[in-house]
A and B are shown apart, each in its own frame.
Chain A
Amino acid sequence: MTTPLVTASGLSKHFEVGGGGFFGLRKAATLKAVDEVSFTINAGETLGLVGESGCGKSTLGRLLLRLIEPTSGTIAFDGNDITRIGRMEMRGYRRSMQIIFQDPYGALNPRMSVEDIIAEPLVIHGAKPGAETRKQVTQMLEKVGLPARALDRFPHEFSGGQRQRIGIARALVLHPRLIVCDEAVSALDVSVQAQIVNLLQDLQREMGLTYLFIAHDLSVVRHISDRVAVMYLGKVVEVADKKTIYAAPLHPYTQALIAAVPAQHPAQRSRGRRQRIAGDIPSALNPPSGCRFHTRCPHVMPVCRERAPELREAAAGHQVACHLTDI
């Protein structure tokens, strides 16, 4: 079952920033938050998306849902190009695509009851408040593991994990097909995080959902994903099924990322044993020439400074953008 539900082709989002003096920068500059990215998400799968802060994960997630407009490139949903369709036509797709955010506190309107929060997407899409809507909301509440008496209560009366359940109920009430989970479990304590990860997996099975799972915790991503995409400074640098990418990563950045994950047992301490990449992630405003990873890459070659490597199939289902694998 590998029918793509989402296909992104050459997708870019550039922001015009600056003009102010914050970084001593007077001239307006172009920030390439997402730069010519192509990939697919298959129906029913979970694609994990990882990379360091600021590499463009959230921007990419928002682009797929057309919450922001791409600078160039196309997005196909279920085989239909949705990049340039009008508002009315987009409405039909909107209900099939939802997003769950990191911050269970900020994402919910504190003045709305749980019932109104979950019903809102239904109402926006034409449902009348009443017995039928209430029934759907109650069903959703039960699905995410909250009691019906939660309906009349307000977000502040719930713990972080419960609020995330409310956010999930709201995202799922329209029975969407694609959910972008943007750091959906990142703010939660590990014991509660495990509850929500289990819930997301149960709901995926029950409702046939497709997930784009954005997170910075590599072990959570490994657990929940079928395939994983790695981003660095606006580019997707590697995509493979999860077993391959964790056991035999090809891109030096993916290798460094995995090597940096803390050991899960003191006998496997990494200090002095695993290679570290030096330095910080460069500014997205002024990314390095050629391969954007060349300033930190332990295998850098002259060609890397000049030419950007393209994302190519290195093995069946395993794509990587690096001159090492090109040769």
Chain B
Amino acid sequence: MNLLEVRGLTTAFMTGRGEVNAIEEVSFSLKEGEILGIVGESGSGKSVTALTVMGLLPQPPARVAAGEVVFNGQNLTRMSDRDMQRIRGPGISMIFQEPMTSLNPVFSIGDQIMETIAAHERLSQADLRKRAIDMLDKVGIPSASKRLDDYPHQMSGGQRQRVMIAMALACNPKLLIADEPTTALDVTIQAQILDLLMDLRDEFGMAIMIITHNMGVIAETADRVLVMYAGRVIEEAPVAQVFDRPLHPYTRGLLECVPSLTEDKPRLVAIPGTLPEPARRPPGCRFAPRCSHALPACSEAIPGLELLEPAHTVACFRAQELAPA
């Protein structure tokens, strides 16, 4: 059984211009211990997907217009807020891009970690403290027992992200959603945090959904990859397939426009244009205005995800014909 099943998820927002779909018909699944990478440019719907799964979007303005989220056999989309709160923490936890915005500046980090644990488990103050120190140790904060009484502003960005991870792990979640966990960090710290996430997966066997716009982070961590564009999943495959045999023109473009660390390229292969806002998405294939392979038919209907090769699905009318031999 899959740990998480997301089926046909469409989340809409009420805006000044009426209701628009931030994400459309998003489907994917996640097994225990698996790392799923979700990649796409900003505005492609990665965070909305994660927040919908977590049930964290304020409704209104948000509304789950279609689809369902099934976690551990339970349908989260129909769950009450109170039941949902019991899933967050021991079931699913989330960490965000900017740790400072999710940590409370007026409480010590120890208090914040202990509060998270206390919300789900009855433990004595002394045991709570011990668990908090344990967690800080696990995420690699040196002299954890001394740092417990520190406030968020007394820590570096990398340390704050470690504290966030400690909080997210405090209740032994089965699934950790990491939304751009290293985007605000320097590369040496990013490498440490990515190592840490992989170590934790190996140690506890939790599943991780890692959301990023960086193909390098995907290459480093993911088992399987979901590529999103303009609110839709346009390709899904095991990580090696995505890099060796991308089948969607957009995925190919994403890989080609990154400069190399070892080879000289005279010129970068850019994708013309920009990602459309939800209210201004073109009809048919959302990528058509930027796609060098677009045909008139591409703008007439939205291509659905199809299984083209084993474990490899893609949403492009011409994928078969354009696939490399």
The answer to whether A and B interact is yes
Residues of A with Cβ closer than 8 Å to B?
Answer: 22-23, 52-53, 159-162, 189-195, 197-198, 201, 216, 218-220, 222-223, 246-247, 256-271, 274, 276-278, 280-281
Q: Which residues of B contact A265 (CB under 8 A)?
A: 219, 243
B260 adjacent to A264 (CB under 8 Å)? yes
Contact A271 to B194, CB < 8 A, known contacts A198-B267, A216-B186, A223-B268: yes
Q: Which residues of A contact B307 (CB under 8 A)?
A: none
Q: Which residues of B contact A160 (CB under 8 A)?
A: 274
Q: Which residue, of A191, A197, A260, A278, has the highest number of chain B Cβ atoms within 10 A? A: A191
Q: Which residues of A contact B268 (CB under 8 A)?
A: 194, 197-198, 223
Q: How far is the CB of A44 from chain B (nearest CB, A)?
A: 17
Q: Which residues of B contact A261 (CB under 8 A)?
A: 187, 216, 261
Q: Does B97 contact A (CB under 8 A)?
A: no
Closest to A158 in B: B274
- Taken together as a complex, chains A and B put the C-alpha atoms of A162 and B156 apart, in Å, by 34
Q: Which residues of B contact A247 (CB under 8 A)?
A: 262
Which of A53, A162, A219 has a CB less than 8 Å from the CB of B259? Answer: A219
Q: Which residues of A contact B213 (CB under 8 A)?
A: 189-190
Contact A260 to B191, CB < 8 A, known contacts A190-B258, A265-B219: yes
Contact A264 to B271, CB < 8 A, known contacts A190-B257, A219-B258, A270-B191: no
Q: Which residues of B contact A23 (CB under 8 A)?
A: 154
A271 adjacent to B261 (CB under 8 Å)? no
Closest to B274 in A: A159
Q: Which residues of A contact B262 (CB under 8 A)?
A: 246-247
Q: Does B100 contact A (CB under 8 A)?
A: no
- Taken together as a complex, chains A and B put the C-alpha atoms of A24 and B174 apart, in Å, by 40
Q: Does B270 contact A (CB under 8 A)?
A: yes
- Taken together as a complex, chains A and B put the C-alpha atoms of A23 and B214 apart, in Å, by 34
Q: How far is the CB of B168 from chain A (nearest CB, A)?
A: 20
- Taken together as a complex, chains A and B put the C-alpha atoms of A218 and B186 apart, in Å, by 11
- Taken together as a complex, chains A and B put the C-alpha atoms of A246 and B301 apart, in Å, by 47
- Taken together as a complex, chains A and B put the C-alpha atoms of A53 and B42 apart, in Å, by 22
- Taken together as a complex, chains A and B put the C-alpha atoms of A197 and B275 apart, in Å, by 18
- Taken together as a complex, chains A and B put the C-alpha atoms of A153 and B142 apart, in Å, by 53
- Taken together as a complex, chains A and B put the C-alpha atoms of A211 and B277 apart, in Å, by 33
- Taken together as a complex, chains A and B put the C-alpha atoms of A181 and B249 apart, in Å, by 31
B275 adjacent to A276 (CB under 8 Å)? no
- Taken together as a complex, chains A and B put the C-alpha atoms of A267 and B222 apart, in Å, by 12
- Taken together as a complex, chains A and B put the C-alpha atoms of A262 and B215 apart, in Å, by 9
B195 adjacent to A271 (CB under 8 Å)? yes
Which of B216, B259, B270 has a CB less than 8 Å from the CB of A191? Answer: B270
- Taken together as a complex, chains A and B put the C-alpha atoms of A50 and B198 apart, in Å, by 27
Q: Does B253 contact A (CB under 8 A)?
A: yes
Contact with A along B245-257 (1 / 0, CB 8 A): 0000000011001
B261 adjacent to A268 (CB under 8 Å)? no
- Taken together as a complex, chains A and B put the C-alpha atoms of A74 and B24 apart, in Å, by 58
Closest 7 CB pairs of A and B: A262-B216, A223-B259, A194-B270, A191-B271, A194-B257, A189-B41, A194-B268
A194 adjacent to B271 (CB under 8 Å)? yes
A216 adjacent to B258 (CB under 8 Å)? no
Contact A276 to B216, CB < 8 A, known contacts A198-B267, A198-B268, A219-B261: no
Contact A262 to B258, CB < 8 A, known contacts A201-B267, A281-B186: no
Closest to A161 in B: B274
Q: Which residues of B contact A246 (CB under 8 A)?
A: 261-262
Q: Does B239 contact A (CB under 8 A)?
A: yes
Closest to B186 in A: A52
Known: A191-B253, A194-B269. 5 other contacts (CB 8 A): A161-B274, A189-B41, A189-B42, A223-B259, A223-B260
- Taken together as a complex, chains A and B put the C-alpha atoms of A51 and B87 apart, in Å, by 41
- Taken together as a complex, chains A and B put the C-alpha atoms of A270 and B154 apart, in Å, by 30
Contact A53 to B186, CB < 8 A, known contacts A189-B41, A191-B271, A197-B268: yes
Q: How far is the CB of B235 from chain A (nearest CB, A)?
A: 15
Contact with A along B266-296 (1 / 0, CB 8 A): 0111111011000000000000000000000
A-B contact pairs, 6 of them (CB 8 A): A22-B153, A161-B274, A193-B257, A222-B259, A222-B260, A262-B216
Which of B186, B217, B222, B274 has a CB less than 8 Å from the CB of A192? Answer: B274
Q: Does B101 contact A (CB under 8 A)?
A: no
Q: How far is the CB of B141 from chain A (nearest CB, A)?
A: 11
A262 adjacent to B214 (CB under 8 Å)? yes
Contact A266 to B274, CB < 8 A, known contacts A219-B261, A280-B189: no
Q: Does B265 contact A (CB under 8 A)?
A: yes
Q: Does B158 contact A (CB under 8 A)?
A: yes
Q: Which residues of A contact B270 (CB under 8 A)?
A: 191-192, 194-195, 198
Closest to B155 in A: A280
- Taken together as a complex, chains A and B put the C-alpha atoms of A11 and B43 apart, in Å, by 42
Q: Which residues of B contact A268 (CB under 8 A)?
A: 219
A262 adjacent to B274 (CB under 8 Å)? no
- Taken together as a complex, chains A and B put the C-alpha atoms of A270 and B194 apart, in Å, by 10
Q: Does B143 contact A (CB under 8 A)?
A: no
Closest to B189 in A: A280
Q: Which residues of B contact A260 (CB under 8 A)?
A: 187-188, 190-191
A277 adjacent to B261 (CB under 8 Å)? no
- Taken together as a complex, chains A and B put the C-alpha atoms of A160 and B277 apart, in Å, by 12
B190 adjacent to A257 (CB under 8 Å)? no
B190 adjacent to A271 (CB under 8 Å)? no
- Taken together as a complex, chains A and B put the C-alpha atoms of A52 and B222 apart, in Å, by 26
B274 adjacent to A190 (CB under 8 Å)? no
A276 adjacent to B191 (CB under 8 Å)? yes
Closest to B242 in A: A266
Q: Which residues of B contact A257 (CB under 8 A)?
A: 187-188
